[in-house]
Amino acid sequence: MGRGTVSAPAATARALLASTTGWIVWAVAFSVLYGVQGLSCAYRWNTIGVAGTSLAQVLLCAIWLAFIAVLGWLCWRLGGAALVPGMTRLLRFVALVSAIGGLVATVWTGIPVVFTSVCL
Amino acid sequence: MSGGRVTALGLHKQLDPLFRTPSGWGRLAATNHTDIGKRFLVTSFVFFLIGGVLAMLIRAQLATPHSGFAGPAAYNQFFTMHGTVMMFLFAIPALEGLAIYMMPKMLGARDMAFPRLGAYAYWCYLSGGSILIVAMLLGLAPDTGWFMYTPLSSQPYSPGINADVWLIGVTFVEVSSIAGAVEIAVSILKLRAPGMSLSRMPLLAWYLLVAVFMILIGFPPLVLGSVMLEIERAFGWAFFDPARGGDSILWQHLFWLFGHPEVYIIFLPAAGILSTLIPVLCRTTIVGYGWVVAAAISLGFLSFGLWVHHMFTTGIPHMGLAFFSAASTLVAVPTAIQIFAWLATMVQGRPQLRLPMLYILGFFAIFVLGGLSGVMVAVVPFNWQVHDTHFIVAHLHYVLVGGFVFPLLAGLYYWLPLVSGRRRLFRLGEVAFWLNFIGFNLTFFQMHLTGLLGMPRRVYTYPAEMGWTGLNLVSSIGGFLSAIGFALVLVDVVLQFLSGEKARRNPWNAGTLEWAGPKPPPSYNFASLPLVTGRDPLQADPDLAVRLARGEGALGRRRGERRETIGVDMVSGAAEQVVLLPGPTFLPLFAALPTGAFFLGILLKQYLLSLAGVAVALVLFLVWAWNNGQRQDEGAQDAGAGLVLPPHPEVREAPGHWGSLFTLTADASLFGSLLFGYAYLWTIAPGWPPPALLEPNSANLALGLLGVIGGWAAMRRATLAMSAGRTASVSGTLLAAAAGQIFGGVMLALVPLWLAPPPSGHAYASVTALLAAYGAFHCAVAAIMALFCWARVKRGFVSPARTLDLRVTLHWQAWAAFAGSLALLVIHGAPWVAGP
C-alpha cells in the first residue's frame, strides 16, 4: 500500500472546468446561433438586405466564424500547454479532445447558416 | 492512529454496530448507502415489472385487428403509464440505486457524502411513484402520452385529475432524482480512497459522474414545465394557451430539453457497466481509457443539442431543423469511439463466454441497430416520413432496451455474488437470456416494418385490410417470450439468494475495490480505507483485502461514535479531510412525509394542506441542518496510515460546499429555462404584444435591487469577518443580510400583486408573475439561511476555523442577489424596451 499525501486545497474545480471548455464554448455557440436565428425571424432581420444577402444571414455567419476562431485558438493553446495549473495528463487530454470536438461540432452544426434559408 | 493492534474480527465488532441499520422499525431510519441503494434497485425493478405488465397489455390489444381486449380510454392509460413508469420510475432510479450502492464500495469509501439526502431521495421516489400507481389502480392514470403534450393535456381537453397525477407524481420523483444526483456527484468527486486520482478512477464512476451532472442540468426544464402546466391547469394562467399569448410548442421545448438528454442519462451508466465488465470478462485492461472518458463527456454535452429532433414536424424553419439534424448525426461519433474501445478490448483480451458476456453481446447487436436507425431518424426528410409511426417505437426500444436493460442485466449477474454472497446453481440465466434476446427482436424488429407501412403510434386498434396483422401478431408473441425471459431472470435471482453456494471473495478476478471485502459487504464496507496507487488496486496488491480487514489502511480504528470516511482533493485524490457521517435517523422519512403532503395538497386542490406541508418540511430541514457540525475546533488529527487530517467542518472544500454549488447548478438550469420561456413567448408565441404591460416602476426596481444586492453584500461581509477572526460584528451583519433579502423579496412579490396585470389574462402576465415568484422564493430561502446562521453563530457552531455554514449561505445569498436582480431587470426592462 502506498503512502497518501495531504493536498493543499488547489484550484481543482478550475482544472475540471477547463477540461470541458471546448464543449462549453460549443454549447454557447449552438445556443446563440439558435437564439439569433429565432430572433431574426421574430424581428424580420431576414428581410433586411446586406451585401447581397440578408442581415440575419450575415449576423449568423459572423457569429459562427467568431466561435470557430475562439475554438481554433483554444485548440492551438491546448496543443502546447495546460490551460490552467493543476491539470493532470488525463485532464489535458480530455481538454484537448474537448476543444477539437467543440471545434468540429461548431463547424458541423453551424454549416446550415451558410446554406439554408433562415425563416422558411 | 493511536491504540493497540486489533484483529479483523475485533475491528468488525467495533465498526458494525456503528454503521449498520437498526432492526424492526429502525429500518425506516436507514441511511446506510448499502440499504438505500438496494431499496432503490429493488423498488425500481418492481416498477419495471409493472411497466412490463403494461407492455403486455399493449401487445395483447394490438395482437389482432379490431381487438376487444381494451377500449381506447384504458389503452391510452396503458401506453402513457408504460412510458412514464419505464422512464421515470425504473430507468433513472435504477441508475441512481446502482450509483448509491456501488460507488462507495468501488471508490473506497464507507458511505455516500450525504446519507440522509439519499434516504430522503428514496422516500420521495417511493411516494411519487406510489401516487402514479395508485392512480392507475383507481382508473385515474395519466392518459395523454408520457410526454404530456399540450394542448391535449391542458384543462379544456383533459379536464379530470389524470394529467395532474402525472405532473405531481413525476415532479415528486424528479425532486428525488435531483437530490440523488447531488449526492452522487459529491460522493464521486470527494469521497474516494486516498490516492485515487481522477486518472485512476473506475470508468463506471466517470460515466455516473457525467450522467448525474446531466440530471442536474436536464431535469429542471421539465420541473419548470410541469410547474407551469399545473399552475395553468389549476389557476387558469396562460403559458401554453395560444388564445391568450401562450404557446403549446413551448411545452415541447421544455419537455425535450429534458427528454433527449434523458436517453443519454440512461445510456451512460449502462456504458459504464460495459466498460467495467468487458475488461474483466476478457481478462485484460480497457483499451483507450482516456478516449472513453473523453467520449463520455462529449456525449454528455452533445446530447443537449438534439432535443428539437423530436419536433421536426412542428413547423420549425429549415435552418433550425438543420442545426439539430447536424447535431443528431454528430452524436454517433463519441458513441462509436466507445464501441470501438470495447471491441478493441475484446480483441486484446481472452473473452470468456459467461452469462454477463451473453448480455454484452446482446447489447452490441441490439444497440448498434438502434444507433443506426437513430442516424436515419436524424435526417429530416426520413424523420418526417416515419414521425409518430411504429418505426420510432422500434428505434427507441432498440436504443433503450439494448442500451440500458441488457447492460443492466449483465451488471446484475456480474455483481449479484457481491450482493448475495452466493453464486448461481442452475443455468436458468442462460435460458432467460435467449428468451429475452429472441423475444425482444421478434417484438421490435417487426415494428420497423409496420412503421414503414404507415402504422401510427398510440392507436388502440387497426383495420385488418391495412396489412399489419401478421407482423403485429409476431410482435405480440415476441413480447410474451420476453416476459417469460424476465420472469426467469427473477426466479434465477431469487434462487441464488435462497440456495446458491457461497461465492468466492473475488469470483471474476476483478481489480476494483468493491471485491476487496467479505461478501455480502459489511455495513461499513472497509474496516480501513485503502491507499490507492493504480487503476486496479486488487490486482496490484492481491493481499489488500486481508490487510484492510486487519485495519492496516486509513481510519482503521473506531473513534467513539464517529462514523468516518476520508475526503480527497477532487483531481489528485490526495487526502484532505475526515468526513463525519450521520447515523440512522427518521428525519429523511419525516421530511418526505410533509413533502408528499405538499404535492398531494396540490393534486387534490387542498392548498392549506400544501402550505402546512411546506411549513412542517421547513422546520424538519432546519432540524436536519442543525444536527450538522461541531462546537469546538479540533484541528488535524491522526487518521492512520500516516495521514493527519482535519474534520470536514474545518476544511474549505467540505462535501457540503460542493453539495450546495451542485444544487444551485440545477437551480440555475431551472432559472435559465424560465428566462428561455419568457424570451420564447415574447418573440415566437402568437397574440403578442399583450393587451396590457406592467407600468415600469423605478422605485420598485431600485428598492428591490438594493435589498437583494445589499443582503448579499452583508452576508459576504459577515463571512469574511468570521474567517478573519473579527467575530464581534458577525451576528448583526447576518441579521442585515436577512433583512436585505426580505426587503428584496417583498419588492419582487409586489410585482404580481400590485404592478402587473392579472396573471390569468395573458401569457405575458403569467410568465412575469412566475419570474417574480422565483426571485421572491429565493430571497426567502436566503433570508431563512442567514437567520439560521445567526442562530448557529450564537450557539457556537461557527468559528473562524468552521465557516461552512456561512459559506454555504453565501452561495444562496449570491444566487438570490443575481437571480433576483436579473428578474427585476427583465420584469421592468422588457416593457420599457418593447413600449411605444
Instruction: State the pLDDT at residue B1.
Output: 47
- When CB atoms are compared, the residue of B317, B334, B570 closest to A41 is B317
CA distances from B710 to B704, B727, B743, B812 (A): 10, 20, 10, 14
Burial of B754 (0-12, 13-18, 19+ CB in 10 A): exposed
User: Residues, chain B, total?
Assistant: 836
CA B148, CA B162: separation in Å to the nearest integer? 11
Output the pTM of the full model: 0.96
Mean pLDDT value across residues B729-738: 97
Task: Name the band, by pLDDT with cuts 50, 70 and 90, for residue A7.
Answer: very low
Which residue from A minimizes the CA distance to B291? A94
pLDDT digits (tens, 9 = 90+) for B677-726: 999 999 999 999 899 899 878 999 999 999 999 999 999 999 999 999 99
Q: Contact at 8 Å (CB) between B394 and B447?
A: yes
Mean pLDDT value across residues B258-271: 96
Decide if B571 and A12 are in contact by the 8 Å CB cutoff.
Answer: yes
Mean pLDDT value across residues B59-70: 95
- What secondary structure does DSSP assign to B18-63, as a single string? HHSPPSGGGGGG---HHHHHHHHHHHHHHHHHHHHHHHHHHHHHHT
Mean pLDDT value across residues B489-497: 94
Task: Name the band, by pLDDT with cuts 50, 70 and 90, for residue A6.
Answer: very low
Type and span of the H or E element at B577: strand B575-581
Mutation to test the A interface, candidates B189, B292, B301, most A Cβ within 10 Å = B301
DSSP state of B567: E
Cβ contacts from A onto B, under 8 A: 153
Query: What are the φ and ψ backbone dihedral angles of B161, each rounded to 5 degrees?
Result: -90, -10
Residues sharing a CB contact under 8 Å with residue B520, sequence separation 6 or more, in sequence order: B418, B419, B420, B421
Decide if A112 and B319 are in contact by the 8 Å CB cutoff.
Answer: yes
Instruction: State the pLDDT at residue A8.
Output: 43
Type and span of the H or E element at B645: strand B643-645
Instruction: State the pLDDT at residue A4.
Output: 38
Q: Contact at 8 Å (CB) between B246 and B690?
A: no
Cα Rg for chain A, rounded, in angstroms? Answer: 19
Decide if A2 and B533 are in contact by the 8 Å CB cutoff.
Answer: yes
How many angstroms away from the CA of A12 is the closest CA of chain B? 6
pLDDT digits (tens, 9 = 90+) for B158-202: 999 999 999 999 999 999 999 999 999 999 999 999 999 999 999
Instruction: Enter the C-alpha cell of residue B2.
Output: 493511536
Q: Which residues in A lie closer than 8 A to residue B289 (C-beta atoms)? A: 90
Task: Name the band, by pLDDT with cuts 50, 70 and 90, for residue A81.
Answer: low
Check whether B374 has a pLDDT greater than 60: yes
Domain ranges of chain B: 689-834
Check whether B2 has a pLDDT greater than 60: no
Check whether A23 has a pLDDT greater than 60: yes
Instruction: State the pLDDT at residue B119.
Output: 98
Q: Which residues in A lie closer than 8 A to residue B334 (C-beta atoms)? A: 101
Query: What are the φ and ψ backbone dihedral angles of B566, each rounded to 5 degrees?
Result: -105, 135
Q: What ipTM goes with this model?
A: 0.93
Q: Which residues in A lie closer than 8 A to residue B683 (C-beta atoms)? A: 38-39, 42-43
Residue with cell 437470456: B433
How many angstroms away from the CA of B110 is the closest CA of chain A? 17
Residues sharing a CB contact under 8 Å with residue B494, sequence separation 6 or more, in sequence order: none
Q: Which residues in A lie closer than 8 A to residue B293 (C-beta atoms)? A: 90, 94
How many angstroms away from the CA of A69 is the closest CA of chain B? 19
Domain ranges of chain A: 17-115
Question: How far is Cα of residue B806 from the mean position of the Cα atoms in its chain?
Answer: 27
How many angstroms away from the CA of B548 is the closest CA of chain A? 10
Which residue from A minimizes the CA distance to B681? A42
Mutation to test the B interface, candidates A7, A37, A40, A67, most B Cβ within 10 Å = A7
Check whether B38 has a pLDDT greater than 90: yes
Decide if B326 and A6 are in contact by the 8 Å CB cutoff.
Answer: no
Check whether A1 has a pLDDT greater than 70: no
CA B297, CA A91: separation in Å to the nearest integer? 11
DSSP state of B530: -
Q: Contact at 8 Å (CB) between A25 and A70?
A: yes
- What secondary structure does DSSP assign to A3-40, as a single string? ---BPP--SHHHHHHHTTHHHHHHHHHHHHHHHHHHHH
3-state secondary structure B716-764: HHHHHHHHCCCCCCHHHHHHHHHHHHHHHHHHHHHHHHHHCCCCCCCHH
pLDDT digits (tens, 9 = 90+) for B607-616: 999 999 999 9
In a 13 Å sphere around the CA of B509, the CA atoms on its Cβ side amount to 8
Decide if B305 and A27 are in contact by the 8 Å CB cutoff.
Answer: yes
CA B101, CA B106: separation in Å to the nearest integer? 9
Instruction: Write down the number of H helices and E strands in chain B.
Output: 26, 6
Alpha helices in B421-503 (DSSP H): 428-452, 469-499
Q: Which residues of B96-125 are buried (b: 16+ CB within 10 A; e: fewer)?
A: bbbbbbbbbbbbbbbbbbbbbbbbbbbbbb
Instruction: Enter the C-alpha cell of residue B774.
Output: 422565483
Q: Contact at 8 Å (CB) between B592 and B124?
A: yes
- What secondary structure does DSSP assign to A38-76, as a single string? HHHHHTTGGGSEETTEEHHHHHHHHHHHHHHHHHHHHHH
Q: Which residues in B lie closer than 8 A to residue A116 (C-beta atoms)? A: 318-319, 322
Which residue from B minimizes the CA distance to A119? B317
Check whether A3 has a pLDDT greater than 90: no
Q: Contact at 8 Å (CB) between B103 and B189?
A: no
Instruction: State the pLDDT at residue B836.
Output: 54
Decide if A118 and B644 are in contact by the 8 Å CB cutoff.
Answer: no
Peptide bond into B93 cis (omega under 30): no
Beta bridge partners of B691: none
Lowest mean pLDDT among A12-26, B135-149, B165-179, B480-494: A12-26
CA distances from B746 to B259, B337, B772 (A): 36, 53, 10
CA B520, CA B35: separation in Å to the nearest integer? 12
Q: Contact at 8 Å (CB) between B247 and B677?
A: no
Indicate the CATH number for domain B689-834: 1.20.120.80
- When CB atoms are compared, the residue of B291, B330, B531 closest to A4 is B531
Task: Name the band, by pLDDT with cuts 50, 70 and 90, for residue B400.
Answer: very high
Which residue from A minimizes the CA distance to B537? A1
Check whether B453 has a pLDDT greater than 70: yes
Q: What phi-psi label fits residue B148: left (phi over 0), alpha (psi between -120 and 50 degrees) or beta?
A: left
| Count of CB atoms situated within 10 Å of the CB of A107 | 16
Task: Name the band, by pLDDT with cuts 50, 70 and 90, for residue A5.
Answer: very low
Beta bridge partners of B563: B581
Mutation to test the A interface, candidates B256, B571, B683, most A Cβ within 10 Å = B571
CA A74, CA A93: separation in Å to the nearest integer? 13
Q: Which residues in B lie closer than 8 A to residue A97 (C-beta atoms)? A: 291, 294, 298
DSSP state of B801: T
Task: Name the band, by pLDDT with cuts 50, 70 and 90, for residue B815.
Answer: very high
Check whether A9 has a pLDDT greater than 50: no
- When CB atoms are compared, the residue of A27, A113, A115 closest to B301 is A27
Mean pLDDT value across residues A82-102: 86
Average pLDDT, chain B: 95
CA B714, CA B706: separation in Å to the nearest integer? 12
Decide if A116 and B541 are in contact by the 8 Å CB cutoff.
Answer: no
Decide if B643 and A26 are in contact by the 8 Å CB cutoff.
Answer: no
Instruction: Enter the C-alpha cell of residue B442.
Output: 421478434
CA B148, CA B212: separation in Å to the nearest integer? 24
β A53-54/B422-423 pair status = unpaired
Decide if B569 and A7 are in contact by the 8 Å CB cutoff.
Answer: yes
- The three-class DSSP label of residue B380 is helix
Mean pLDDT value across residues B442-468: 96
- When CB atoms are compared, the residue of A33, A91, A104 closest to B198 is A91
Residue with cell 411605444: B836
For the CA atoms of B753, B754, B756, B757, what is the dihedral angle to 10 degrees?
Answer: 80
Check whether A22 has a pLDDT greater than 80: yes
CA A9, CA B750: separation in Å to the nearest integer? 44
β B501-502/B422-423 pair status = antiparallel
CA B730, CA B809: separation in Å to the nearest integer? 14
Instruction: State the pLDDT at residue A17.
Output: 85
Instruction: State the pLDDT at residue B518.
Output: 87
Task: Name the band, by pLDDT with cuts 50, 70 and 90, for residue B4.
Answer: low
